[in-house]
Chains A and B, each alone.
Chain A
Amino acid sequence: MDVLIATPTRREADAIAGRARVIVTGTGGAADELTHAIKEQRPGVVIVAGYCGALDPSLRAGDVVISRMAAQAGSPELLPEKGLIDHVRDEFHRRKSVFVYSRLLTTVHAVASKSDKLALWNEFGAAGVDMETYPLARAAEDARIPWVAVRVVLDAANTALPASLDGWQEDGDERQALKRAALRPREWQSYGRLGLAYRRASKALPRAVAIVRAAAQQPWERDLSLPLV
């Protein structure tokens, strides 16, 4: 099966680089980018891959979340195809690789504070939160392409992101955030923690994507209610 990996940022794409066809979708117009790539490349499967914040308090940086469903406030939940997801889970088990199989929540803004994470956990029960999974899964579904999302935890539920990252949207915003942080010594410790978490997450992401990709490339029993392109 021909696999296309969609990642929101260049940083995430670089972590996976060299392993497959990877496109960088950005955050705001992620769905349009993926729709365009699907039309051009006609993949058999779309893997949505990247980092997420944890809402599940049992998760730590580097833990892997596989999408049981994609959720977004006010929108119907999206379920990945059962045959594909079973295949992915079996592959993780076969390699004795730990993961959790849960909801992934998509929000419009970055969820930075512990209190916001707690409120979303109570409301949605999603293991992870990000800004792109839902529109990317929606774009894949609209194109009748099976999808699966794999996210690796960057910031745990009991940690707050540095305040200067508030409003983060795209790759380029990081420099602005760091400039702001340079003038706020109180945030340096948070950035230090985030840096350590990033090291763990960036090691875990390519491993997890490789497992998902290996599973997706093998044939599985298709859901016939989902017609192929």
Chain B
Amino acid sequence: MGIPASEAFAVSTHILKQRIKGNKRYPLVMMLEPLWRCNLACVGCGKIQHSEEILGTYMSPQECWDAADECGAPIISIAGGEPLIHPQIGEIINGFIERKKFLHVCTNGLLLERWLPRLEPSKYLTFTVHIDGMRELHDEMVDRKGVFDKAVAGIREAKRRGFRVSTNTTVFADSSPEQMRELFNFLMDDLDVDGMQVSPGYDYPKAPNQKVFLQRPQMIETFRQIFAFPERKHWRFFQTPIFLEFLEGKTAMQCTAWGNPTRTVMGWQRPCYLMNEGYVKTFDELINETEWDRYGYGRDSRCTNCMAHCGYEATAVKATIASPLEGVRAAISTMGGKKA
């Protein structure tokens, strides 16, 4: 099972509707951070360096749903912090499902087994478990032993209960192509995940270890090597083929920061999920009063080494929808992909 046809259809119709309305900028995925507290302190994370007061602030379920209504994106990605720490996360998830929003809950997996009995599988719900490598590498990147085993157990249990599970892998300087090959083979063949996402790490200035980040030319070379392995054709990614080609440097793309607007406990984050220039109260302010052309590769030095999917996947999705051939390719690689 890959991306449900209904999710792909919802995104396609959303884009077509926006185009018919003549909207130049519109969201595809709302990044929701209902809390910033986390139960890990990963070496490449720049999200959780806040005061105790802010880390103790949680959005209410109603605030989460209101943000989604205000934004209008067909897909909600709940991140953080660790969303499964939120005491009302079950209520939040069920509320989104009732609203027929496609939901990706991005988790490190530590609390997954605790929540699974309280939730029902749904075509609207996907658990996206963060896995940066096999046991040794992953535990090193999250700076705690045993996390890999716990996450793997969570994935197995989620699959056993009939939930859709994908993984999200961040590629860092310490991740060799061979290690990524081993990981992707394990995720597809052993864990039988429904799909994978992959993205190079963003060089957060606040991240504890600045040495883990790749420079753009290194990223391209690393992804070329990863995707050159013969097993590549059996790896099913929940990402467009255009985005994966972009990671290999085969396609030129500019960032579409407004495609993935970010709602946090502090408000709507400007300008994107990774960079923080402050917050605005409404989605309308974010989309209409941000000087979007200021940001992107070549335009802002902070974007120089960013090839993250939260900025470029929206560009790739728009390009996919615009081309029938690309649409077919995307369908084959996600919905129709098969394992070895």
Contacts and interface: CB of A to CB of B under 8 A. Distances in A.
B217 A102 contact: no
B294 A101 contact: yes
A211 to B, nearest CB: 15
> In the complex, which range does the number of interface residues on chain A fall in?
20 to 34
B257 to A, nearest CB: 11
A123 interface: yes
A117 interface: yes
Given A122-B249, A125-B304, A57 B254 contact: yes
Nearest to A127: B298
B299 A55 contact: no
Contacts of B299: 68, 100-102, 127
B296 interface: yes
Contacts of A102: 296, 298-299
A126 interface: yes
> In the complex, which range does the number of interface residues on chain B fall in?
10 to 19
A125 B326 CA distance: 25
A99 interface: yes
A123 B218 CA distance: 11
Interface string B277-312: 000000000000001011011110000100000000
A40 to B, nearest CB: 35
A129 B304 CA distance: 18
B293 A98 contact: yes
Nearest to A58: B254
A121 interface: yes
B89 interface: no
B294 A117 contact: no
Nearest to A124: B298
Interface in A32-69: 55-58, 68
A159 to B, nearest CB: 12
B252 interface: yes
Contacts of A93: 291
B252 A55 contact: yes
A118 B294 CA distance: 21
Contact of B217 (A68, A98, A117, A122): A122
A6 interface: no
Interface string A65-102: 00010000000000000000000000001000011111
Contacts of A158: 252
A157 interface: yes
Nearest to B319: A57
A98 B298 CA distance: 17
Nearest to A120: B252
Which of B220, B249, B296, B299 gathers most chain A CB within 10 Å? B299
A138 interface: no
Contacts of A151: none
Given A98-B293, A122-B217, A103 B298 contact: yes
Contacts of B296: 56, 58, 100, 102
Contacts of A100: 293, 296, 299
B251 interface: yes
21 contacts: A55-B252, A56-B297, A56-B298, A57-B253, A58-B296, A99-B293, A100-B293, A101-B294, A101-B299, A102-B296, A102-B298, A118-B252, A121-B297, A122-B216, A122-B220, A122-B252, A124-B298, A125-B216, A125-B298, A126-B298, A157-B252
Instruction: Please provide the 5 A-B residue pairs with the shortest distance between their CB atoms, ordered closest to farther.
Output: A125-B298, A58-B254, A57-B252, A102-B298, A102-B299
Interface of B: 216-217, 220, 249-254, 291, 293-294, 296-299, 304, 315
Given A68-B298, A98-B293, 20 more contacts: A55-B298, A56-B252, A56-B254, A56-B297, A57-B253, A58-B296, A58-B315, A93-B291, A99-B293, A101-B293, A101-B294, A117-B252, A118-B251, A118-B252, A122-B217, A124-B298, A125-B216, A125-B297, A125-B304, A157-B252
